[in-house]
Amino acid sequence: MIQNLPSNIKQGCPWKEETSPTIYDENINWPKISIVTPSYNQGQFIEETIRSILLQNYPNLEYIIIDGGSKDDTVEIIKKYEKYITYWVSEHDEGQSHAINKGIEKSTGEIFNWLNSDDFYEKNALFNIAINFINNNPDIVTGTVRVLEIDAENWYITGHYIGKFCKKGYAIARLFQPSTFLLMKKVKQLGEISTELHHVMDVEWYLKYLLYFGFDKICEIDEIIVNYRHHEASKSIAKKDIFMPEIEFLYYRMALLISENKIADFIKKHILVEEIKSLDYKMKLDEKYLNIKILKETLSNFLYKYFSEHYVKGNLKLARKLAYLIEYKDLAEYRKQKFRLPQWRLKNIYPILVTWRRIKSFF
């Protein structure tokens, strides 16, 4: 158990305590948790990241830092804590995904996640995760997240969204990476994090899980697990406009993978932005786990989002094309009987709420 750590740093958030009260029970066989921190030039934040992990006082922790050869004071900070760190390295790599994959290779725990070098755990986070793995026997435990705005004074709570609508298709399922922990055996089945996707590699990873294994072994908890920073250099701020285009490209590649060429052509022509069409990415799915039926339903759910948007806006030409690509039985019946009737043509004077209620009535 770690009692003292060198050189306290100023805590930027009033709810963050210097030491985390432990809920350690020596009678519990705590599973080994492997945490990997990929890092590059985050010297202003990484000390709080490191301390938030070590001060969990979790009794069976494996902590690995993979630094990409930082030019700031990151390495000096890591060295202050190296006797508490299982493994660390600072060398040139090919980016965040490559660093995480290197960390996975070094990991030997039963439970895995990575924590970026500008985020930090809430007190007792690892105990809350571990006890839910022990009690519920899931593949995944996912909690909630406190998102800190740039000044670290304004914040809000977010996290997983698996809810009832996701049962219709996996396209809208959301697992927030910093608070989502997986069994290591599932990590190995999912394979490496994509090095071709630079912003939504975690989305692809979790989507693979859902396509392989479904929802049954996901445990959702309400506890805040991690504090996630929004700052000017973070991807979620600096590159926010590229996240959705990369997700759309992900579904385009899914369609190509199973030869759904009409769907792929529609996505490429009507959804993808020009700057993303040349992205060097091919989705890799293991056929021994993949459920093709679920994958097709997932694509349909993805297209339904665009169908509903175009329908509400009165873009009936595009909505009609989308309707004939979507798999849902109710929508198939709807498109045969009602979609072509003139009385269903939308007028701008109709309230959007009324239109939305009409759409919902068919699902």
Q: Are 196 and 182 in contact, with CB atoms under 8 Å apart?
A: no
Instruction: Say what the pLDDT of residue 238 is.
Output: 47
Strand partners, 143: none
Beta strand 33-39 with 61-67 is parallel
Residue 204 contacts residue 125 (beta carbons within 8 Å) = no
Give the pLDDT confidence score for residue 172 in this predicted structure: 58
- Residue 299 burial class via C-beta count within 10 angstroms: exposed 0-12, middle 13-18, buried 19 and up: buried
Mean pLDDT split into 10-residue runs, the chain, 363 residues: 45 39 75 97 91 95 96 94 96 92 97 95 95 95 85 63 51 79 97 89 91 89 88 54 86 91 93 84 89 85 83 82 73 51 41 49 47
Q: Answer yes or no: are the C-beta atoms of 250 and 207 closer than 8 Å.
A: yes
Which pLDDT score is estimated for 336?
52
Instruction: Give the relative orientation of helices 292-313 and 240-257 as an angle to the nearest 10 degrees.
Output: 130
Task: Set out the domains of the chain in order of their start, with CATH numbers.
Answer: 33-237 (3.90.550.10), 239-360 (no CATH)
Place of tokens 């690509």: 325
Beta carbons of 234 and 149 less than 8 angstroms apart: no
d(CA 157, CA 146): 5
> Exposed, middle or buried by CB within 10 Å (0-12, 13-18, 19+), for 288?
exposed
Burial of 154: CB neighbours in 10 Å, binned 0-12, 13-18, 19+? exposed
> In the 3-class helix/strand/coil scheme, how is the chain assigned residue by residue?
CCCCCCCCCCCCCCCCCCCCCCCCCCCCCCCCEEEEEEECCCCCCHHHHHHHHHCCCCCCEEEEEEECCCCCCHHHHHHHCHHHCCEEEECCCCCHHHHHHHHHHHCCCCEEEECCCCCEECCCHHHHHHHHHHHHCCCEEEEEEEEECCCCCCEEEEECECCHHHHHCHHHCECCHHHEEEEHHHHHHHCCCCCCCCCCHHHHHHHHHHHHHCCCCEEEEEEEEEEEECCCCCHHHHCHHHHHHHHHHHHHHHHHHCCCHHHHHHHHHHHCCHHHCCCCCCCCCCCCCCCHHHHHHHHHHHHHHHHHHHHHHCCHHHHHHHHCCCCCHHHHHHHHHCCCCHHHCCCCCCCHHHHHHHHHCCC
**Cα(159)–Cα(57) distance, rounded to whole angstroms?**
24
Q: Give, to the nearest 10 degrees, the angle between helix 201-213 and helix 240-257.
A: 40
* pTM for this model (two decimals): 0.82
Q: What pLDDT is recorded for position 189?
A: 95
| Distance separating alpha carbons of residues 179 and 23, to the nearest angstrom | 19
For the chain, what's the residue count? 363
